[in-house]
Chains A and B, each alone.
Chain A
Amino acid sequence: MHPAPSVILFTVLSGAGFGYLAFLALGFPAVAGWAGFAAWGFGYAMAVSGLLASTFHLGNPQRALLAFSQWRSSWLSREAWTSVAALTALAPMALSDWLGLGLLRGFGLVGAAFCAATVISTAMIYAQMKTVPRWRDWSTPVMFAAFAVAGGGVLAAPPVWAAALALAPGAALILSFRRGDGAFAAAGHSLGSATGLDRLGQPSVFEQPHTGGNYLMREMIHVVGRRHAARLRPIALLLAAAVPALLLVILPVPLARPLAFAIHLAGALAARWLFFAEAEHVVGLYYGKRG
């Protein structure tokens, strides 16, 4: 799949944003006054800018409100609702923290649940795609959740926890690589089943239907060099998980948090790039390109 910057930014920022907001909502760390304003503001900024980034992916963003309409079947629609619900539900909590209104944490719990739902909905947009076997797996929501928890946790979890949570995406990535690498083959789709020509023998592409490019090739058929992926995977693991965790262990936590978060974010971007770039859509079969 085409690793579109807007979508990478969207999933990474909104994931980290909602993760962080959830921590705040649950009172980790407890913030108040202008520090509260800054913390909540940062969380909101990440979540909202992530959501905004997603609109850059749209052909007609001016109609984006319509995306709320199909919550009964569409994960994207559900994500729209949950994200708005989360942002709305958390507003009293945020105001309370800022202005010291003393709202019960229970309110935050509801918001945090919406944050979690948002992250899961986002993940489900991908995990529901039977057309992309690498994504269509329980490890996808696990990974999205792990990134959200880590993104939030690095910034907000209690010191001991932060380092541990920072490792979560590492585990999730390893899991998703392991489960994902064989997924396409395991799904059993082939040029033969895609065309039904396995009835006859062994089909392969003779000529492409068009020598010019098209949307499908740009959007679904992205061939990443194997070596490229092999190099990026450890980088993503290191940056998204190992280095932040290490920093949180070896440096004083308040100092480590921003540094670890920045590095984690870079790792998350790399991992998300791979998430798309390595994902093979079955339509590639028709073009003789698994990619």
Chain B
Amino acid sequence: MTCLPAKVDKTLGLVIDLDTCVGCQACVTACKGWNDQGYGVPLSDQDPYGADPSGTFLNRVHSYQVEVADAAPQIVNFPRSCLHCADAPCVTVCPTGASYKRAEDGIVLVNEDACIGCGLCAWACPYGAREMDAAAGVMKKCTLCVDRIYNDQLPEQDREPACVRTCPTGARHFGDLSNPQSAVSRLVEARGGYALMPEIGTGPVNRYLPPRKKGAGLSGPLTALVDLPATGLAGWLDRLLGKL
């Protein structure tokens, strides 16, 4: 439905911990692998062994450097996929209704059978979450692994997105962000999770947990048991071994 549902029952989404993501790209290929054989047409690649390889991916991991005042510069790895926005402009621009937001869980999907491949939804998305497949000519995007999270052919514990399941550091979390009691909501609460480009008004569901403050620890100075220069090696030994 091209219009957004008046109300969604849940808002499923991802919470991504930037303090933990090491930028390993595992979620990128796990997503590619799952979705290459899952929802919709395969995620094609063009010129795969050639001079300009290019293909469709639903999840990309950036790496930024941040110059911090009075502290060492930092590197922050930054995964980027669909944020399943509440006010998803990608849905409303779609002329065919192929793009829609599910009323039951807020997942934004493309019905590939109805997609004409006009690209407007990708234009409308501020986050670059949509990539047109160059082989099938239909729009691809993160499905929040809708074919995993309810899949009763999978063991219960595997009913989570492929990227979450594979993330070696556990930097990706999946859950219902409309429920303040959910694990993801509590994480967001505790760690000051934030939305991307809030000023653009898309109402993203996914949240990012900011890197924790880096730098010196809290321990005080190394308090000496003995003042070595005052006692010399022999005195140091005596005092120290006296402890035993």
Q: How far is the CA of A129 from the CA of B199 in the complex (A)?
A: 14
Q: Are B210 and A282 neighbours in the complex by a CB distance under 8 Å?
A: no
For A75, the chain B residues whose CB sits under 8 A away are: 93
For A189, the chain B residues whose CB sits under 8 A away are: 126, 197, 199-200
Contact of A202 among B57, B66, B125 (CB under 8 A): B66
Stretch at the interface among A66-74, A93-101, A175-183: A66-74
Contact of B2 among A72, A188, A281 (CB under 8 A): A72
The interface centre, meaning the residue of B94, B95, B123, B194 with most chain A CB atoms within 10 A of its CB, is B95
Stretch at the interface among A26-34, A161-169, A205-213, A236-244: A205-213
A227 within 8 A of B: no
B127 within 8 A of A: yes
Within residues 240 to 291 of chain A, which ones have a CB less than 8 A from any CB in chain B? 281-283, 286-287
For A194, the chain B residues whose CB sits under 8 A away are: 126-127, 196-197
B237 within 8 A of A: no
A103 within 8 A of B: no
In the complex with contacts A209-B62, A215-B122, A196-B196 CB distance below 8 A: yes
Q: How far is the CA of A199 from the CA of B66 in the complex (A)?
A: 10
Q: Are A281 and B123 neighbours in the complex by a CB distance under 8 Å?
A: yes
Q: Are B2 and A207 neighbours in the complex by a CB distance under 8 Å?
A: no
A49 within 8 A of B: no
Q: How far is the CA of A213 from the CA of B132 in the complex (A)?
A: 13
In the complex with contacts A130-B201, A219-B132, A220-B128, A69-B95 CB distance below 8 A: yes
For A130, the chain B residues whose CB sits under 8 A away are: 89, 124, 126, 200-201
Q: How far is the CA of A63 from the CA of B127 in the complex (A)?
A: 27
Contact of A210 among B57, B94, B198 (CB under 8 A): B57
Which residue of the partner chain B has the closest CB to A75?
B93
Contact of A60 among B2, B137, B197 (CB under 8 A): B137
Question: Closest Cβ of chain B: how far from A207's Cβ, in Å?
Answer: 4
Q: Are A131 and B131 neighbours in the complex by a CB distance under 8 Å?
A: no
Q: How many residues of B contact A (CB 8 A)?
A: 66
Q: Are B96 and A282 neighbours in the complex by a CB distance under 8 Å?
A: no
Which residue of the partner chain A has the closest CB to B64?
A203
Contact of B60 among A68, A196, A209 (CB under 8 A): A209
Q: Are A214 and B57 neighbours in the complex by a CB distance under 8 Å?
A: yes
For A90, the chain B residues whose CB sits under 8 A away are: none
Q: How far is the CA of A205 from the CA of B62 in the complex (A)?
A: 8
Q: Are A70 and B131 neighbours in the complex by a CB distance under 8 Å?
A: no
Question: Closest Cβ of chain B: how far from A40's Cβ, in Å?
Answer: 28
Q: Are A60 and B117 neighbours in the complex by a CB distance under 8 Å?
A: yes
Q: How far is the CA of A57 from the CA of B117 in the complex (A)?
A: 8
Q: Are A201 and B68 neighbours in the complex by a CB distance under 8 Å?
A: yes
Q: How far is the CA of A8 from the CA of B178 in the complex (A)?
A: 43
In the complex with contacts A195-B64, A206-B65, A209-B62, A200-B127 CB distance below 8 A: no
Q: How far is the CA of A210 from the CA of B53 in the complex (A)?
A: 10
Q: Are B118 and A58 neighbours in the complex by a CB distance under 8 Å?
A: yes
Q: How far is the CA of A281 from the CA of B115 in the complex (A)?
A: 22
Question: Closest Cβ of chain A: how far from B109's Cβ, in Å?
Answer: 15
CB 8 Å contact bits of B123-164 with A (1 = contact, 0 = none): 111111001111011110000000000000000000000000
For A281, the chain B residues whose CB sits under 8 A away are: 123
Q: Are A131 and B98 neighbours in the complex by a CB distance under 8 Å?
A: no
Q: Are A200 and B65 neighbours in the complex by a CB distance under 8 Å?
A: no
Within residues 91 to 145 of chain A, which ones have a CB less than 8 A from any CB in chain B? 125, 128-132
Q: Are A129 and B132 neighbours in the complex by a CB distance under 8 Å?
A: no
In the complex with contacts A58-B118, A59-B138, A209-B62, A201-B3 CB distance below 8 A: no
In the complex with contacts A64-B116, A66-B116, A212-B55, A195-B122 CB distance below 8 A: no
For the complex of A and B, the 9 pairs showing the least CB-CB separation, nearest first, are: A59-B117, A59-B137, A70-B2, A283-B128, A201-B68, A76-B95, A66-B96, A209-B60, A77-B95
Given contacts A59-B117, A201-B66, A209-B80, 16 further A-B contacts (CB under 8 A): A1-B123, A66-B116, A70-B96, A72-B3, A73-B93, A74-B93, A76-B95, A189-B200, A195-B76, A199-B210, A200-B76, A200-B210, A203-B76, A210-B60, A214-B57, A215-B132
